[in-house]
């Protein structure tokens, strides 16, 4: 039977979301009798099934990219220069890594995620792709509720985390990762205006129920703040790029004022959310991490190497093994020092700049309103969760997809303008 290019594209999209949105990990846990992987062992050796499928994703993604429009591909590659600088830096970190073999594997995994995102954005319409992602997140949530009925102890996480022990995780590996995913689903549906039909309302309701069950203050804030941002961007947007530019400046000033207010009301707002000042021990962990960051402040320990190296042993003796610093910015310091952190910040600012440009000029500005809101939230939440440069997460896949949606949309618009001239 001959497989058409269109069939291969759709299969690739399906496997990508199956891989990064928790389905593969869930199937692996079921095959192991519901037991979670040992985190330290997984960091050192990885999961064989994930590695095999990851390599297939990488090779197939490269093949599909070769089938794309070469001129468009080259233009987007140039537009996405900071991605390739970051990847080159992580590949370079193999030479100073504390665990070179692990850094190499992590780099391959990171490149696979970037290639997968680049590939599906190149071959699918942006709005239909984001709606597909929202529907996939709904399936994750619905399966989680079914799993809750079938195996409550597994779907509620179990473990020995005190008052957080029985929070809903569904088919996801952890509560917070799952809750953020449900939040993305809600924001995408709202941003795309998919809340008028009965089916879309059912999806929103299921996602909302799972979000409440997960009891994640961070994800709830994401939904409230994200919905507010999307509404603000949509209300303020007009068909005039000049007016949009002036209004985006006003919105930026409003957001800066809100950030200052939140800074001074920080302790009060944490109390309203029921969170302790340590952010569930995160500030304590960050304090313990400072000596390790200072030891390799410039270039870090190598991409993905710290938590699998001997350097972490003294931390484990004091605190136990946690696998990441519960902050994407602290992880960037461990991965690549201040150079790595600088590249991550520059990349994020570049994505925000592209999204703002798309919001101001593109006919599909309402889609950009949703995507810009999500990226802004990810930039904030990355402070208390490992989102950006997490080579194996749904958060990072969404971040990367949004980045390439912005790049490709701007390139296509520039090409149309050139043809019109």
- The tens digit of pLDDT for each residue in 13-47 reads 999 999 999 888 888 878 776 555 555 555 555 67
For the record, the structure tokens of 298 come out as 């410039």
Contact 25, 81 (CB under 8 A): no
What is the phi-psi region of residue 47: left when phi exceeds 0, alpha when psi lies from -120 to 50, beta otherwise? beta
pLDDT at residue 160, rounded to an integer: 45
Tell me which DSSP letter residue 391 carries: T
Tell me which DSSP letter residue 322 carries: -
Tokens 């001074």, located at residue: 264
Per this entry, what is the length of the chain? 421
pLDDT at residue 378, rounded to an integer: 96
pLDDT at residue 42, rounded to an integer: 56
Distance CA 229, CA 377 (A): 10
Distance CA 287, CA 294 (A): 12
* Mean pLDDT, the chain, integer: 88
Distance CA 355, CA 348 (A): 11
Tokens 């991550």, located at residue: 344
Instruction: Tell me which of 1 and 374 has the higher pLDDT.
Output: 374
- Residue among 178, 168, 175 nearest 148 (CA): 168
Query: How many C-beta atoms surround the C-beta of residue 66 within 10 A?
Result: 9
Q: How confident is the model at residue 279 (pLDDT cuts 50, 70, 90)?
A: confident
Q: What is the mean pLDDT of residues 323-339?
A: 94
């Amino acid at each position: 039977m001959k497989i058409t290019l269109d069939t291969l594209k759709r299969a690739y999209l399906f496997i990508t979301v199956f891989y990064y949105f928790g389905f593969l990990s869930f199937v692996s846990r079921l095959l192991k009798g519901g037991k979670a992987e040992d985190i330290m062992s997984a960091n050192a050796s990885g999961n064989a099934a994930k590695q095999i499928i990851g390599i297939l994703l990488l090779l197939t993604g490269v093949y599909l990219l070769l089938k794309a429009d070469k001129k468009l591909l080259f233009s987007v590659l140039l537009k996405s220069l900071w991605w390739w600088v970051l990847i080159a830096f992580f590949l370079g970190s193999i030479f100073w890594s504390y665990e070179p073999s692990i850094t190499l594997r992590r780099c391959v995994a990171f490149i696979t995620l970037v290639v997968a995102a680049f590939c599906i954005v190149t071959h699918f319409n942006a709005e239909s792709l984001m709606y597909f992602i929202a529907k996939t997140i709904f399936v994750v949530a619905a399966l989680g509720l079914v799993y809750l009925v079938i195996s409550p102890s597994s779907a509620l996480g179990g473990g020995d985390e005190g008052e957080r022990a029985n929070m809903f995780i569904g088919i996801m590996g952890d509560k917070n990762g799952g809750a953020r995913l449900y939040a993305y689903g809600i924001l995408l549906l709202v941003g795309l205006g998919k809340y008028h039909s009965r089916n879309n309302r059912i999806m929103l309701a299921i996602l909302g129920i799972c979000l409440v069950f997960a009891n994640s203050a961070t994800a709830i804030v994401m939904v409230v703040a994200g919905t507010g941002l999307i509404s603000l961007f949509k209300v303020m947007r007009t068909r005039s790029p000049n007016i949009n530019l002036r209004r985006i400046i006003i919105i930026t000033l409003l957001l800066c004022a809100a950030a200052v207010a939140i800074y001074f009301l920080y302790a009060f707002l944490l109390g309203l959310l029921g969170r302790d000042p340590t952010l569930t021990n995160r500030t304590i962990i960050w304090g313990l991490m400072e000596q390790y960051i200072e030891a390799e402040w410039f270039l870090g320990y190598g991409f993905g190497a710290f938590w699998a190296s001997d350097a972490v042993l003294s931390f484990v003796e004091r605190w136990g093994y946690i696998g990441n610093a519960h902050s994407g910015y602290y992880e960037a310091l461990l991965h690549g020092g201040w150079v790595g952190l600088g590249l991550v910040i520059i990349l994020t600012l570049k994505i925000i700049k592209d999204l703002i440009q798309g919001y101001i000029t593109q006919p599909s500005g309402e889609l950009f309103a949703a995507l810009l809101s999500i990226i802004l939230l990810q930039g904030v939440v990355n402070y208390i969760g490992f989102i950006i440069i997490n080579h194996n997460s749904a958060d990072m896949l969404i971040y990367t997809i949004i980045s390439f949606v912005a790049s490709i949309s701007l390139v296509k618009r520039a090409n149309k303008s050139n043809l019109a001239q």
